[in-house]
Amino acid sequence: MTALLRYQAALLLRSQRWIAPLVVYAGFVAVGIRPGDRALDSLGYAAAGMVPQTAWLVRICVGAEPPAARACAAAAAGPARVHAAALLTALGGALTAGAAGACFALLCGGPGGKPPAATAAAGAVAVLVCALTGAAVGALCSRPLVRGRGLAVLAGGLGSLLAWVAAFSPARSAVSALVGAARTDGVPLPLGSLAAALLLAAAAGTAACLLSARRE
């Protein structure tokens, strides 16, 4: 799996298609976070932007290989493992950007009377929750489940919007927990949302990998 991850990471970096989601996320964070805002509010905002960014990166990674190269990789390592490596590569890239966004939020945001360590921990968990939720959206809205480019973009956008507003969404719960904690005492860790996001991402990723193994 390590070799597959390196292969997928090299494909992503050489394609330069990661630049667009990175720039959009950087703009999202730069415009929405102002110096002096509550750190927890800023962290929640930075975490929320991870959902569409991760879904976008997943769609890029699972479609980065030319058909011939994908067939060779699938023959050598199995289509399910190749697809899993693409999903993990996208998640890793998104988390790297999310870590930078969270650091920016912490540097710009005011403490608001909250312990810095607890604030940073809550922000890190929220970023991870939103990245996992975005990965689940991307896995369900990309190849092999959704093959058309236009349809995949539409499905990914609608899925990200649903992850922002649906009451059952782990991402919404984690962001709401941070925003609510900014106005109350204490800094709770959204561990329940993290568990739900892990289950959701695992289920979506497994379904995509199994379907990839059957179709490719």
Q: What is the pLDDT of residues 171-190, one digit of tens each?
A: 999 999 998 887 877 777 88
CB 139 within 8 A of CB 208: yes
Residue 61 has pLDDT above 80, yes or no: yes
Q: Look up residue 109 and give its DSSP letter.
A: S
Query: What is residue 20's predicted lDDT score, i.e. its pLDDT?
Result: 94
Asked whether the predicted pLDDT for residue 207 surpasses 60, the reply is yes
* Residue closest to 62 by CA, chosen among 3, 95, 127, 17: 17
The percent of residues above 90 in pLDDT, for the chain, comes to 54
How many residues does this entry show for the chain? 216
Return phi, psi of residue 109, to 5°: -80, 150
| 133's tokens | 């939720």
CA distance 158 to 161: 5
